[in-house]
Structure formats: structure tokens, C-alpha cells
Chain A
Amino acid sequence: MPHLDPTEKQIVFKIVYFGPGMSGKTTNLRYIHKVLTNKYKGEMLVLDTEKERTLFFDFFPVSLGTIQGYSLKFHLYTIPGQIFYEASRKILLVGAEGVVFVADSSADRLRDNTEMFMAMNENLRSQGIDPSSFPVVLQYNKRDCNPRLSIGEIERELGLENIPVTESIAIEGKGVMKTLQVISKEIISRFQIS
């Protein structure tokens, strides 16, 4: 559920970039932070190790503008992808309105992608969320690598139908804003007051 505050006059949606280690989650966020002009973005927090692997999360807020007197904001988070940070991943999914699943397109990482996707769904279920009705965009990142997964392989492996898919080379910025656009629209389209 988004957070809405009448005093601060803001409505906030949380988007989490999920995926296996080294798939490009932080690279996505860094690119978005780089291309957005200052009036739309806040400071980026990066909690990483000395080797620049995400230790806890990366984060920055985006303010899009005012609608009906409320400031529309997205809070963008990444999770740590390394396998032993499962507890942190679970924490970071709390309160998320949508997920970008950043998959590594390298052919030998199909299993890493599918296992992480299944772990994500398990985390959502543990919060009482039905993954089949939760906004998720599957981003095939690193489309410049060879050999690479074909589009559709991950979905077939996981039995996913109708999941929005994007392709990207995040290190070059390709496909990054498109992915952000798709997940944001997925979230906004489902926005309602119950």
C-alpha cells in the first residue's frame, strides 16, 4: 500500500530492484540517478562493501510532481544479490508496491535467475502477497553478452504468463528508463483506494 501523508502532502510508492548477484541492480539505479535532473531526485545512498558489492541496499527518492495537491514520489531500492543476504532481501521487500526483477542474460545464469525469482515470490507470499497479482517487470539485462539467454527462457522455466519484459544493457543506460517507465505505470495503473 502506498504511503499518503496529508501534512507533508505526499504519496510515496516503493519500487525494489530485485535479482541475483551481479545482475546490474545498482547499475540501473546509478544510471537513473545520473540522468534525472536535480529537481526530481534526492541523494543516493549506497551501502556497499569495499569491493562495491551491495551490503544492505541502495536507495534514492524521485519526486515527479504534484497531483491534486499531493507530491507524487517513488522510492527506489535495490537488494543485495549475494546468496547469503536472504534476510536483508526479505526486509527490503516489505512495503514494496512493485519490483523490477533484474535478470542476468548470461546463458549460464538461468538457474541463478530462476532460483532468485522463486525466492522473491516466497518472500512476497510470507507477507501475505499473491505474487501473481503483484506488479513485477522482468528485465533481461546484459543483452550484449554472449552466449545469452533468449527472451522467454526465464518465463518458460518459471511458468510465467503475461509478465511485462524489457531488455537492457544497464552499464550503457540502454533499456533502463524504459524499465522504470513500465514498472511505474504498472504500479500507477493498479493504484486504488480500497
Chain B
Amino acid sequence: MYLPKREDTDDIKKLLSSLVSRSKAITALLISREGICISKAGNVETLNSTALAALVAGMFAATREVANIVGEEQFSILLQQGEKRHIHISLIGQRNMMIVVFEDYRKIGRVRHEARTIGPDLVRILEGREKSQKDDAEDISVPEFREFALNLIDRIFVVGKEEDASS
């Protein structure tokens, strides 16, 4: 199981916050290639980060396939330009992506620069925490977790008699 250390996650948040602050972006998110939000900074209240992460991960993966078709291994940056808001997406290592949402398109150079600047630090933290995952997992009791989870499944994914479709 992949379990990051709290201090690593705090460091990631600090890096994202510094990017948001220096580039005057609205928000920055770090997501996994599986589409899960790892960390976020800036104005995150108005964005559905769960949906955004799932969509961008799918989009990026699709773009990698496009890259292969045209003879590239992958495209490391994606830019989506809108009327008022724009999105800069960059690959962080092989397993993660950073999404920066910003409004002033004249700041694109700054966004790109800041993303490039913190990229290596993010990679270093993410690689480090993968190595230490076993030590970090000690605060979870797996048998207990399983038991509670199975109870929640029984309680919430309710199966009524009328739902039986056995032939």
C-alpha cells in the first residue's frame, strides 16, 4: 500500500502554495496518474478536485497514447486555454501530474517557470516517500480496518429482496 508521510505531504503543500503565490495562479493540485488528488493549494473551495483529478488523469493518459502514435514517448506539458481560465498540466516524474489553474494568460511564462522550478523537488519528495512506505503504515490496523470496512459495505450498499435477479 502507498502511504506518504505527513511531513512529506506538508512539504508538497508548501511547494504548491509557493507556486500559487508566485505565479498568481488560482489553484495548484498534485494528482496521481490513477486520478486521485494527492495535495492542493490556493483557492480549492470552488473546484471539484475529485472530478478534476479523474478527468485530467484520463486526459493525460490519452495524450500519452497520442504521443506514441506520432512517435513521441509522451508530452510532458499540456496547456488548455479558455476565455477566462486556463490550465497548465505538467508531468511530475512518471506517476504524477501537477495541475495549475490560472486566469491571466500573460502569466503563462511565469506559471511554466514556477512549475519547472518545483518539479524536481516534488519528484524527490514523492520518490522518497515511496521508499519509506512500509514504515509509515504502522498506524493502521489492517484486520480492524477490514472488519469495519465490511460492516460499512453491508450497511450502505444495501441489497433488498426485490433486487434479486436470479433466473
List residues of chain A with CB under 8 Å of any chain B CB: 1-8, 12, 14, 36, 40, 42-43, 45, 56-57, 59, 61, 64-65, 67-68, 70, 72, 75, 77, 87-88, 91-92, 94-95, 143-144, 148, 151, 167-169, 172-178, 180-181, 184-185, 188-189, 191-194
Contacts and interface: CB of A to CB of B under 8 A. Distances in A.
Given A77-B54, A174-B162, A175-B163, 16 more contacts: A5-B39, A6-B3, A6-B136, A7-B6, A36-B156, A59-B54, A65-B156, A75-B35, A95-B34, A148-B167, A175-B165, A175-B166, A181-B159, A184-B157, A191-B145, A193-B3
B137 interface: yes
Interface of B: 1-6, 9-10, 13, 32-39, 48, 50-51, 54-55, 58, 61-62, 65, 134, 136-137, 139-142, 144-146, 148-150, 152-154, 156-160, 162-167
Given A6-B9, A175-B163, A176-B163, A92 B58 contact: yes
A181 B157 contact: yes
A188 B149 contact: yes
Contacts of B1: 1-2, 4, 191-194
A192 B142 contact: yes
B55 to A, nearest CB: 7
Contacts of A188: 146, 149-150, 153
A6 B5 contact: yes
A7 B163 contact: no
The secondary structure that dominates the A interface is mixed
A72 B152 contact: yes
